[in-house]
Amino acid sequence: MTAETNTDVTTVYEVKGMTCGHCEGAVTQEISALPGVTSVQAVAATGKVTVTSGAPLDEDAVRAAVDEAGYELVGTAA
């Protein structure tokens, strides 16, 4: 018998080009549409986007979502 563990993964990404609340909303909407994403918090002032998901996300999928919103994914934040 195996027990499933529900461990969320939180990743912080750096996004270039966000300058306001509208930017935050656009990025949040696109990333939220990715399968497995449970929460997104975008902060234009820092350029950081914190994403919580049920499993690690494919960075190319996150990059495509950010690109669709009109911004540039720099990568994961250090």
Domain boundaries, the chain: 18-76
Domain 18-76, CATH: 3.30.70.100
Give CA–CA dist 29/26, Å, rounded.
Answer: 5
Query: Of 2-6, 19-23, 69-73, which range is least confident?
Result: 2-6
Over 60: is that where the pLDDT of 69 sits?
A: yes
Over 80: is that where the pLDDT of 2 sits?
A: no
Per-residue pLDDT tens over the stretch 19-47: 999 999 999 999 999 999 999 999 999 99
Contact predicate 72/14, CB 8 Å: no
Contact predicate 5/64, CB 8 Å: no
Task: Record the pTM.
Answer: 0.89
Which candidate, 75, 65, 78, 74, places its Cα nearest to that of 26? 65
Residue 70 Rama label (left phi>0; alpha psi -120 to 50; beta): left
